[in-house]
Amino acid sequence: MRHQHIALIGGSGFVGRHLTHHLRNAGYRCRVITRHAFRHPGLRLSAEVREAAPHDRDALAAALDGCDAVVNLAGILNPAPGEGFRRAA
């Protein structure tokens, strides 16, 4: 059976860490895309961790290369004026 490779954008948060662990235990290969990979060394035990800003199309495309599916978990905690949900879409 071929193992599917699933990317989780914003997968370093509360939901992402739990989902990554669940997917890994179900036999999926996971790649967590986060803005600050160095802050999440523990994720490397269950996933490949890549650094990319969610609004940088080129960096994001490179980080997603080779993945079969993507889960977007990027959140908005403290948006700057004029930013927010429209920019995250």
pLDDT score, position 89: 47
Which CATH superfamily, name and number, covers 5-88?
Answer: NAD(P)-binding Rossmann-like Domain (3.40.50.720)
Q: How far apart are the first and last CA of the chain?
A: 34
pLDDT score, position 78: 61
d(CA 77, CA 13): 12
Which segments in the chain show pLDDT lower than 70? 1-2, 76-89
Sheet containing 69-72: order of strands: 48-51, 29-34, 5-9, 69-72
Sign of the torsion formed by the C-alpha atoms of 62, 64, 16 and 85: positive
Q: Is 55 in a helix, a strand, or coil?
A: coil
pLDDT score, position 66: 94
Single-letter amino acid code for the residue at 58? D
